[in-house]
């Protein structure tokens, strides 16, 4: 089984694998071009060429960064503001009508806690799911394995370490509900 297959399955994989490095290199090249392209249609094509799924009416503002691209799906009429970082080692699914503020970070990679295993490249990827009509404030950080429910609001600068219920409002580090307190 390839390391890419392991990564996509959520199993432990070696992030130092050459196939994964080649995919990251292709994404880095495409993202460099994306961040320097004036034409929005050409920018979108650069992303779809590496496997990003962008539905109608969705927009990603440069500068933007991601690790692979082939594990990112964005629904209809969603907006990702400038300086977003999406480490899409695992699947990142962004619903329709989602608004993501500037400098939001979405992480799916989780490294081994043991130093020797971490240095050897041991890693897992846990998916992140952002459901429809979510608003994520600027500078928020979404950690691996988190699902954000429909119409939830994530306050600026929040660090989301666990699932957020639909229609909830969370803020802080770690993010806590402002409704259920």
pLDDT of residue 163: 98
Q: Is 111 a catalytic residue?
A: yes
pLDDT of residue 181: 57
Q: Is the dihedral of CA 72, 60, 147, 13 positive or negative?
A: positive
pLDDT of residue 180: 66
Per the CB < 8 A criterion, the answer to whether 144 and 160 are in contact is: no
| pLDDT averaged over 10-residue windows placed end to end, the chain, 181 residues | 95 97 97 97 96 96 97 98 98 98 97 94 97 98 98 98 98 92 57
Q: What residue ranges define each of the domains in the chain, with the CATH number in brackets?
A: 3-177 (2.160.10.10)
């Amino acid at each position: 089984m390839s390391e890419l297959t392991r990564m996509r399955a959520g199993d432990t994989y070696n992030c130092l694998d050459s196939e994964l490095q080649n995919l990251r290199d292709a994404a880095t090249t495409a993202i460099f071009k994306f961040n320097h392209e004036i034409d929005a249609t050409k920018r979108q094509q650069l992303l779809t060429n590496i496997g990003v799924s962008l539905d109608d009416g969705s927009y990603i503002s440069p500068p933007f960064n991601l690790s692979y691209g082939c594990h990112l799906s964005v629904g209809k009429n969603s907006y990702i503001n400038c300086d977003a970082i999406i480490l899409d080692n695992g699947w990142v699914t962004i619903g329709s009508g989602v608004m993501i503020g500037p400098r939001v970070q979405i992480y799916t990679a989780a490294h081994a806690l043991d130093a020797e295993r971490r240095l050897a490249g041991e890693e897992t990827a846990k998916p992140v799911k952002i459901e429809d009509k979510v608003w994520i404030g600027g500078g928020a950080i979404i950690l691996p394995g988190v699902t954000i429910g429909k119409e939830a609001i994530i306050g600026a600068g929040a660090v989301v370490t666990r699932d957020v219920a639909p229609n909830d409002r969370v803020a802080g580090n770690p993010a806590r509900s402002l409704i259920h307190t």
